[in-house]
Amino acid sequence: MIKDYFCRFVAVSVMFFWFLVCPVSSDELPVVTYLRGLEFFSSEFQEQRFSPDGAMVSSSQGKCRIHRPRKLYWEYSQPARQVIISDGETLWIYEPELEQVIKSSISTMASSALSPLLESRERIDKLYTFEARSDLNWWRLRPVSVAKYSEAAKIDIKFMDGKIDQIKLTDPLGFVTKLFFTKIHYKAVKAAVFDFSPPDNIDVVNAGFNENRDDLD
């Protein structure tokens, strides 16, 4: 048993060393192939947020629907209902308990944990570089457009059994958001899912929405 464990350890160590010293075309990485081929994505999720010292700040759960590029339905069911919807241009954040809707541009999601699932799938390898982590199930995405990577949010993707299992976002202040996905499927989502009209008698807050938006890609 000890021998088998040692052999597995050596094999994984050699594989990781190979990733570090040998240049690998992004076309050869399964995580890139997966993201490039992903058009529809639906799942249930759990979201956890941690402070820079590792303390959990919040925990929530819900379901999501995505149609790339930039169409999003993200619904928190617990601890309080909140719905985030994008039709590809306008981003709506609806908070029923507060009787409030926030309107902004989808470009505000460019540095979110979901950005790899929202941006143009044809250009995913042009928007990020991919780096293998010490655990070979994890990949770090470095945004090509950011001159100083140390000032950018860090996105790590856990890719297991041919699909995304978890996304971790570390923002420039050190806060960490973890998204865990379950019951994933890739069926087409009806276009009406991404349409939203504010209910009557609801306050609409315009958060700097610009009709001449900047695309995520």
> For the segment 100-115, what is each residue's pLDDT rounded down to a tens digit?
999 999 988 887 899 9
Please give the pLDDT value at position 172.
Answer: 87
Q: Which domain holds residue 30?
A: 2-206
Which residues are CB-neighbours of 130 under 8 A, at least 6 positions away?
A: 26, 29, 31, 32, 139, 140, 141, 142
pTM of the model: 0.80
Residue 175 lies in a domain: yes
Residue 194 lies in a domain: yes
Q: In CATH, what number is assigned to the domain containing residue 121?
A: 2.50.20.10
- Cα separation, 75 vs 55, in Å, equals 24
Residue 187 lies in a domain: yes
Count structural domains, the chain. 1
Residue 216 lies in a domain: no
Please give the pLDDT value at position 213.
Answer: 43
Residue 169 lies in a domain: yes
Which residues are CB-neighbours of 120 under 8 A, at least 6 positions away?
A: 68, 69, 127, 216, 217
- Cα separation, 64 vs 164, in Å, equals 14
If we measure between CA atoms, which residue out of 65, 71, 67 comes closest to residue 39?
67
Residue 73 lies in a domain: yes
Residue 54 lies in a domain: yes
Please give the pLDDT value at position 210.
Answer: 55
Which of 4-18, 146-160, 168-182 reaches the highest mean pLDDT? 168-182
Residue 212 lies in a domain: no
Share of the chain above pLDDT 70, in %: 80
